[in-house]
Chains A and B, each alone.
Chain A
Amino acid sequence: MPFFKTIRWVVWKDLISEWRTRETMSSMLFFALIVILVFSFSFSMDQDAARQLIAGIIWVAFTFTGIIGLGKSFTSELQNDCLESLQMCPAPKGAIYLGKVAANFLFMLSVEILLFPLFVLFFNLDVIEAVGTLLIIFSLATLGLAAVGTLFSALTVQIRAREVMLPVLLLPLAIPVMIAAVEATRGALSGDPFSFYSQWIQLLIIFDIIFTVVSFWLFEFILDS
């Protein structure tokens, strides 16, 4: 099967199964809501404190919900031995990886876009001018998380204690994404000029490129058995 066609089919397959079950997105959304509530109880913030902390809170919530989505991405393949079918499928493994990354990216980004208005509402943020920049930051950071996360989701799905091992392996490696995303989001939310935080966006782009390429290459060794 040609490369790009495979990517399209993998994305399409994931979107259809998500549309029919609505499992991943709904669990991500509910989990994220709970995280937001827990944060607002545990900090009891006033306006100033909220402005200081909000970027970190947003990214903790997004990362944890992202991990739920990433974990589901391959555990759902365990039913009816779909994983083995993917392994035996005569398609390039890299295309399967890119398809999975694209599907995970879409799930994570749509949950983030749905959640962000709630942050604005609960923490009284003023975001009208920054929406465009924030969307770019969210997309880049989510792509970075999805690129590494899909690799480790495929890796942990075949081992014991997979629910624990995915965050244990993924979070230390995602530190650059976390730092860059938090700093860029803070800059955008506090209305700094773009040049103040553009370096963090550059870091996100560099991370995305490096880890998409590296994971693309390494993914073959995971599905190969």
Chain B
Amino acid sequence: MINRIIRQIQRYKGWFGGAAALCIFLGLYIGLLASPPDYYQGELVRIMYVHVPLAHTSTMAYSVLFFGSIWYLWKRDPLVDNMCQASASICALFTTLALITGSIWAKPTWNTWWTWDPRLVSFTVLLLILGGYIMLRRLVDDPVQGGRYAAILAIVGGIDLPIIKFSVEWWRTLHQPMSFSTRGVSISEDILVPLTLMSIGCWLLFAYMVMVRTQILYLTDLLHAKKGRFLSQTHFSQTTP
């Protein structure tokens, strides 16, 4: 018996993928070709249409992981654990891409690849926590125990990330104020339309990727359970009618 939610995912995930492709295509077209260059940054501003949505999506992905982990510790639903595992690795992907595009953008505007800006530091720490999460899952032999441990790490990390951001912000402002604030310009419609399209596109892409990955993880676990390798057999108890 395959879980009802997995069947729903199988039926509807294509729509999410298609909508994500459409939004990202339109957003990239308007952002990279149709919209005017920025008054201050010129053509350089165009990387914003890629960078900002990626960064937003990675914070959203971590909140999915955070609340999913609380849900998992509470209800012990193995499907939620699969979803957490899926969103962690995809969150790591989006965070890495956000850091790389941010670095590329920082070189011409701030004249440096890297600076100890609070946002950069907290994204790097986010990436470190996600790396720890992915490593932790691989190092525990019992998958149920691994899911529980990973959920604990995700919850502690989720509570810690705002404190990290806050403390780094405090630390930097006491030492040296940020010398550049190029984004202080109020956003006009020319920027807002492609930015919104790209954000929605990235969110949909994240949802689509999580769906596919959750499905794969769920089916892998189910296969192991059927082969009898899985001593706890949680998936059986969840799925048999």
Question: Which A residues contact B (CB, under 8 angstroms)?
Answer: 148, 151, 155, 158-161, 165, 168-169, 172-173, 175-176, 179-180, 183, 199, 203, 206-207, 210-211, 214-215, 218, 221-222, 224-225
A214 CB → nearest B CB, Å: 6
What residue in chain A is nearest B137 (Cβ atoms)?
A: A159
Q: Give Cα A180 to B163, complex, Å.
A: 11
B152→A218 contact, CB < 8 A: yes
Q: B156, A214: Cβ atoms under 8 Å? A: yes
Residue on B nearest A148 in the bound complex, by CB: B156
- A173 contacts B168, C-beta separation under 8 Å: no
Q: Is the beta-carbon distance between B167 and A176 smaller than 8 angstroms?
A: yes
20 contacts between A and B (CB under 8 A): A151-B152, A159-B136, A160-B141, A165-B139, A168-B132, A169-B136, A172-B128, A173-B160, A175-B125, A175-B164, A175-B168, A176-B163, A176-B164, A203-B170, A207-B163, A211-B159, A214-B155, A215-B156, A218-B152, A224-B148
CB of B167 within 8 A of CB of A165, answer no
User: Is the CB–CB distance between B168 and A222 below 8 Å?
Assistant: no
Given contacts A158-B145, A159-B149, A161-B139, is CB(A172)–CB(B129) below 8 Å? yes
A221–B73 Cα distance when bound, in Å, is 8
CA distance A169 to B166 in the complex (A): 20
How many chain B residues sit at the interface, stated as a range, is 20 to 34
Q: Report if A210-B163 is in contact (Cβ < 8 Å); known contacts: A151-B156, A221-B148.
A: yes
Q: How far is the CB of B4 from chain A (nearest CB, A)?
A: 27
Q: A158-B145, A159-B149, A222-B149 are in contact. Are A173 and B139 (CB under 8 A)?
A: no
Q: Please, how many angstroms separate the alpha-carbon atoms of A161 and B135 in the complex?
A: 10
B18 to chain A, nearest CB (A): 37
Interface: B217 (CB within 8 A): no
Query: Given that A175-B168, A176-B167 are known contacts, is A165 also in contact with B136, CB under 8 Å in the complex?
Result: yes
Instruction: Report B234 CB to chain A, min CB distance, Å.
Output: 13
The verdict on B100 contacting chain A, using a C-beta distance below 8 Å, is no
**Additional pairs, 15, CB under 8 Å, beyond known A175-B167, A203-B167:** A148-B156, A155-B152, A160-B140, A160-B141, A161-B139, A165-B136, A168-B131, A169-B153, A172-B125, A173-B156, A175-B125, A179-B167, A211-B159, A215-B156, A218-B156
3 closest A-B pairs (Cβ-Cβ)?
A176-B167, A172-B128, A159-B139
Contact residues in A for B139 (Cβ distance below 8 Å): 159-161, 165
User: Which chain B residues lie closer than 8 Å to A183 at the CB level?
Assistant: 171, 174
Do residues B135 and A168 form an inter-chain contact, with CB atoms below 8 A? Answer: yes
B102 interface residue per 8 A CB criterion:
no
**CB-CB under 8 A for A214 and B167, given A155-B149, A160-B139, A221-B152:** no
CA distance A142 to B145 in the complex (A): 29
Determine the chain B residues whose CB is within 8 A of the CB of A165 once the complex forms. Answer: 132, 135-136, 139
A79: min CB distance to chain B, Å: 21
Question: Smallest distance from the beta carbon of B79 to chain A beta carbons, Å?
Answer: 18
B157 located at the interface, meaning its Cβ lies under 8 Å from any Cβ of chain A in the complex: yes
* A residues near B168, Cβ cutoff 8 Å: 175, 179
A161 to B140, CA, bound (A): 10
The CA of A173 and the CA of B128, in the complex, are separated in Å by: 9
Chain A residues with Cβ below 8 Å from B174 are 183
B136 touches A218 (CB 8 A): no
A31 CB to nearest chain B CB (Å): 23
